[in-house]
A and B are shown apart, each in its own frame.
Chain A
């Protein structure tokens, strides 16, 4: 690039506020979490315990149970959300009279914050709420959606999915708009039916977008907190006690910040490994083709 010499002082001045903000309020907290996880509070004093907090996690059955819940939750919610947001994006990009209204309606959950969604769904899923009323039409008896061990986690998945898929849909729409229509025309002339076009053209060409959505979605769901805090507080019988909530309880209910930070560090490390694997697996496949 041929360009006039960059005025370094000006560049520094332009970047300074944003960089300072990101360093102090994003990067420094991460470093702080790591260092705090090596300390314990004993009678108001910070005492260095080395990897003690991590070692006690290994022997801690509550931690393992919570890890298990976190994995099960993510194994279900992420594929469900991505499949549904892909489906929704395919509906969104169709063109026919009246689509504009449907498009607007599909975007409604984006405007509804997660806490609002949680409050409305909590009442809808209550014993005498709307959902039980609707399934009553089909003669199904009322179910304890949020208060039974076997339903609570799945109800949270349903609520988070309702709230989340419109948002992910937007990114997939961006990817779909980038695929040239000529490829579809060619495939149609070759006699490919709709699901073949989806499987052999749309999904492979969407791979970079889907990878982005997968990584971002997993990062959010792995750290999901608000619905569990507001709906179940980890219960019933710890069936929704994901690691983020376990960390919150540790730090803010039991005042054990060392353990809380150790859990957060473990969660973020697991997340980084998962994201790394996703990049390897999904980008690798593309190179072979």
Chain B
């Protein structure tokens, strides 16, 4: 076979393979977007028998999004943003300080505490959700927004990310600043924080996404559902408005696109942060 021909075939096969894989990843979200942009009567049109029109937003309509916001979904988005932002800011402080202490100082029992922290993030949240409900009862926080925020602030994985990064900062910087008479908190603020912007971003995303995706815990901790967060709100919407398909899709699309819009420009930090954690974990 002639060389260019063979190269052309392997080029084609490779792209067909990648497109097939990408198709599976994109299809659900794409279909959800398309269906949310159609009138409700048309959502299941063109599927039996299947025509490619089923994957295009025709006829086009924005009714679903108007309907969703009329039903108060904007409030749910605002609630979730509030919970996620407070958790993220408090979590960056709390976990960053702990990571700094582990990276810079030697003290008795350091390895034992670090091991406990690693165990705490290896055990998934689901395992403690039911007993955590009892803790919340004891604290009297049931149906209180504190029950959503406070338990999620301290995060073992975030501590670990900061610890790993701060450990790599050359000690010379620290010694130089100390010789200039800076105290430890100045060192943290003026030396470590400016260097650690990528780690701040990946830990911040981690905390934000964790709250954005929380489902089981808000379901248990807020039984009266006066204050709804987005995943629970979406599940409730599904039960309440079973057959308003286009609005259901609109809710799902909004819920998915906000974190994707956040992750897209910051993808590099997120991938590098997690990939590093797996390597050394």
Residues of A within 8 A of B (CB): 1, 3-4, 6-8, 10-11, 14-15, 17-22, 24-30, 32-33, 36, 88, 91, 96, 98, 102, 104-117, 119-121, 123-124, 128-130, 132-134, 136-137, 162, 166-167, 170-175, 177-178, 208-209, 212-213, 215-216, 219-220, 223-226, 229-230, 244, 247-248, 251-252, 257, 260-261, 264, 267-268, 271
Contact = CB atoms under 8 A, between A and B. Distances in A.
A220 B122 CA distance: 9
B22 A102 contact: yes
Contacts of B234: 115-116, 119
12 contacts: A18-B117, A18-B154, A22-B156, A27-B120, A29-B131, A91-B21, A123-B248, A171-B274, A173-B271, A209-B279, A215-B122, A268-B127
A257 B107 CA distance: 41
A116 B260 contact: no
Nearest to B95: A18
A248 B132 CA distance: 13
A88 B18 CA distance: 10
A146 to B, nearest CB: 14
A111 B256 contact: yes
Given A114-B213, A170-B271, A175-B279, A15 B98 contact: yes
B135 A251 contact: no
Q: Which 6 A-B pairs give the minimum distances between C-beta atoms?
A: A21-B154, A174-B275, A171-B278, A111-B260, A133-B47, A18-B98
Interface in B119-138: 120, 122-124, 126-128, 130-132, 134-135
A171 B29 CA distance: 24
B75 interface: no
A124 B29 CA distance: 11
Contacts of B74: none
Given A166-B25, A174-B276, A26 B120 contact: yes
DSSP majority for the B interface?
A: helix
B41 interface: no
A27 B154 CA distance: 12
A7 B135 contact: no
Given A29-B132, A170-B271, A21 B126 contact: no
A223 B18 contact: no
Contacts of B31: 120, 124, 130
Contacts of B49: 133, 136-137
A249 to B, nearest CB: 11
Given A22-B120, A108-B26, A136 B21 contact: no
Contacts of A11: 101, 105, 107
A260 to B, nearest CB: 6
A91 B135 CA distance: 45
B267 interface: yes
B203 interface: no
A14 B100 contact: yes
A26 to B, nearest CB: 5
B105 A6 contact: yes
A225 B101 contact: no
B190 interface: no
Interface in B77-122: 93-95, 97-98, 100-102, 105-107, 113, 116-117, 120, 122
Contacts of A136: 47-50
A31 to B, nearest CB: 8
A174 B264 CA distance: 19
Contacts of A25: 128, 132, 135, 150-151, 154
B235 interface: yes
B151 A224 contact: no
B259 interface: yes
Contacts of B231: 113, 115-116
A268 B129 CA distance: 13
B28 interface: yes
B216 interface: yes
B278 A213 contact: yes
B133 to A, nearest CB: 8
A30 B279 contact: no
Given A130-B31, A174-B275, A137 B127 contact: no
B188 to A, nearest CB: 9
B32 interface: yes
Contacts of B264: 104, 111
A164 to B, nearest CB: 12
A224 B97 contact: no
A86 to B, nearest CB: 13
B47 A129 contact: yes
Given A29-B132, A115-B231, A162-B24, 9 more contacts: A22-B154, A96-B14, A110-B270, A134-B50, A171-B277, A219-B124, A220-B126, A229-B216, A230-B235
